């Protein structure tokens, strides 16, 4: 109900929701000790190593930190270049 009123009155998002979103980001960084700069460097190096073995789409590589209970997980999504494109080259 409150949310409907907030929406109708054009009020801001509830502060607890904001707090939770902010906390999620902060805790991920607190727990991993990896600065955004270091993450970028890690990403570049990963792309370099993987490219040596298989053709990938470097601009679409995504690396992020995810939370699984108290465990942090580094998730890398690395799209391979399609076989068709590889043949054309």
Partner 1 sequence: MIRDKRLPELFLIPAAQTRDKSAVSPSDMVRLCDELRIDHDWILIDSPAGIERGFRNAIAPADIIMVVTNPEVSAVRDADRIIGLIEAEEKGPARLVINRIKSDMVRRGDMLSADDVLELLAVELIGLIPEDENVITSTNRGMPIALNGKSKAGQAFRNIARRLHGEKVPFLELEEQGGLLGRLARIIRPGGGG
Q: Which window, 19-27, 46-54, 55-63, 81-89, contacts partner 1 (CB under 8 A)?
A: 19-27
Q: How far apart are CA 32 and CA 63, in angstroms?
A: 14
- The interface with partner 1 within residues 38-77 (CB under 8 A) comprises 67, 69-70
Helix, strand, or coil (residue 88): helix
CB of 8 to partner 1, least distance (A): 15
Task: Examine residue 1 and tell whether it contacts partner 1 (CB under 8 A).
Answer: no
């Amino acid at each position: 109900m409150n949310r409907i009123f907030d929406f109708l009155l054009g009020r801001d998002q509830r502060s607890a929701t904001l707090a939770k979103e902010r906390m999620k980001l902060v805790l991920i960084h607190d727990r991993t000790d990896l600065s955004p700069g270091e993450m970028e460097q890690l990403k570049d190096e990963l792309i370099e190593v993987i490219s040596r073995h298989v053709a990938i789409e470097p601009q679409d590589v995504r690396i992020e930190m995810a939370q699984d209970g108290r465990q942090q997980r580094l998730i890398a999504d690395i799209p391979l270049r399609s076989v068709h494109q590889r043949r054309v080259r």
